A and B are shown apart, each in its own frame.
Chain A
Amino acid sequence: MAEPPLEPSGSPDDDLVARAKDGDPDAWRELYREHAGRLVAWLRLRPTGDAALTADDVAADAWLVAASKIADFDGTSSEFAGWLFGIARKISFRAKERSDRRRTAPGEVSEVGDHLETVADPTLAIDTHDWVRHTLESLPPRERDVVGLIDGLGLDTQGAAVALGMTQVAVRVARHRGLRRLERIAASRADLTPT
Chain B
Amino acid sequence: MNPRPRDLRLDVPPVEPPDDLVHRLAVLARASTPTRRARHRVVTLLSTALGALFLSVGAAWATGAITVPGLPAPTLEQSPTAPADPGTPDSTDTTDPTGPTDPTDPSGPTGVPGTGPATGQPAPGETPRTPRPGGPGSGQPDRPDQPTRPAQPTQPPRPDVPAPPRPDRPPRPDRPDRPDRPDRPDKPDKPPKPPKPPKPEPGPSSQSGPPAATTAPHPTPVTGQGVHG
Name 14 A/B residue pairs within 8 A (Cβ), A-sorted: A23-B30, A32-B17, A33-B15, A37-B14, A38-B12, A64-B24, A68-B32, A70-B32, A71-B34, A132-B3, A136-B8, A152-B8, A183-B2, A187-B2
Contacts of A69 in B (CB 8 A): 32, 35
Partner-binding segment picked from A87-95, A110-118, A120-128, A166-174: A120-128
Interface residues of B in 1-37 (CB under 8 A from A): 1-3, 5, 7-17, 21-35, 37
In the bound complex, CA of A25 to CA of B26 (Å):
5
Contacts of A102 in B (CB 8 A): none
Across the interface, do B32 and A33 meet the contact criterion of CB distance under 8 Å? no
Additional pairs, 5, CB under 8 Å, beyond known A34-B14, A64-B25, A126-B10: A23-B27, A36-B17, A63-B21, A72-B38, A125-B13
A149-176 interface code vs B (CB 8 A; 1 in, 0 out): 0011110000000000000000000000
Contacts of B26 in A (CB 8 A): 23-25, 28, 67
In the bound complex, CA of A173 to CA of B9 (Å):
19
Across the interface, do B28 and A186 meet the contact criterion of CB distance under 8 Å? no
In the A-B complex, the 8 residue pairs with the smallest Cβ-Cβ separation, listed nearest first, are A23-B30, A37-B12, A67-B28, A32-B17, A71-B32, A67-B25, A151-B8, A33-B14
Q: State how many residues of chain A have any CB contact under 8 Å with chain B.
A: 46
Closest to A133 in B: B10
Cβ of A21 under 8 Å from chain B: yes
Query: Which one of A20, A32, A153 lies within 8 Å of B15 (CB-CB)?
Result: A32
Across the interface, do B17 and A20 meet the contact criterion of CB distance under 8 Å? no
Across the interface, do A122 and B15 meet the contact criterion of CB distance under 8 Å? yes
Closest to B35 in A: A72
B60 → chain A, closest Cβ, in Å? 33
Query: Which one of A23, A25, A71 lies within 8 Å of B33 (CB-CB)?
Result: A71
Across the interface, do A33 and B35 meet the contact criterion of CB distance under 8 Å? no
Contacts of B7 in A (CB 8 A): 132
- Number of interchain pairs (Cβ within 8 Å): 110
In the bound complex, CA of A153 to CA of B1 (Å):
20
B128 → chain A, closest Cβ, in Å? 77
Contacts of A151 in B (CB 8 A): 5, 8-9
Cβ of A182 under 8 Å from chain B: yes
Cβ of A103 under 8 Å from chain B: no
Across the interface, do B1 and A29 meet the contact criterion of CB distance under 8 Å? no
Closest to A147 in B: B8
Known A-B contacts A131-B1, A187-B2; the reply to A29 vs B22 at CB < 8 A is: yes
A18 → chain B, closest Cβ, in Å? 11
Across the interface, do A179 and B5 meet the contact criterion of CB distance under 8 Å? yes
Across the interface, do B17 and A33 meet the contact criterion of CB distance under 8 Å? yes
Across the interface, do B23 and A21 meet the contact criterion of CB distance under 8 Å? no
Interface residues of A in 42-87 (CB under 8 A from B): 60, 63-64, 67-72
Across the interface, do B32 and A132 meet the contact criterion of CB distance under 8 Å? no
Across the interface, do B24 and A132 meet the contact criterion of CB distance under 8 Å? no
In the bound complex, CA of A138 to CA of B12 (Å):
22
B151 → chain A, closest Cβ, in Å? 67
In the bound complex, CA of A32 to CA of B25 (Å):
10
Across the interface, do B15 and A28 meet the contact criterion of CB distance under 8 Å? no
Query: Which one of B10, B23, B25, B28 lies within 8 Å of A132 (CB-CB)?
Result: B10
Across the interface, do A29 and B29 meet the contact criterion of CB distance under 8 Å? no
Query: Which one of B8, B9, B25, B32 lies within 8 Å of A63 (CB-CB)?
Result: B25
Contacts of A33 in B (CB 8 A): 14-17
Across the interface, do A72 and B34 meet the contact criterion of CB distance under 8 Å? yes
B28 → chain A, closest Cβ, in Å? 4
In the bound complex, CA of A32 to CA of B29 (Å):
14
Cβ of A2 under 8 Å from chain B: no
A148 → chain B, closest Cβ, in Å? 8
In the bound complex, CA of A22 to CA of B23 (Å):
12
Which one of A24, A68, A190 has the highest number of Cβ atoms from chain B below 10 Å of its Cβ? A68
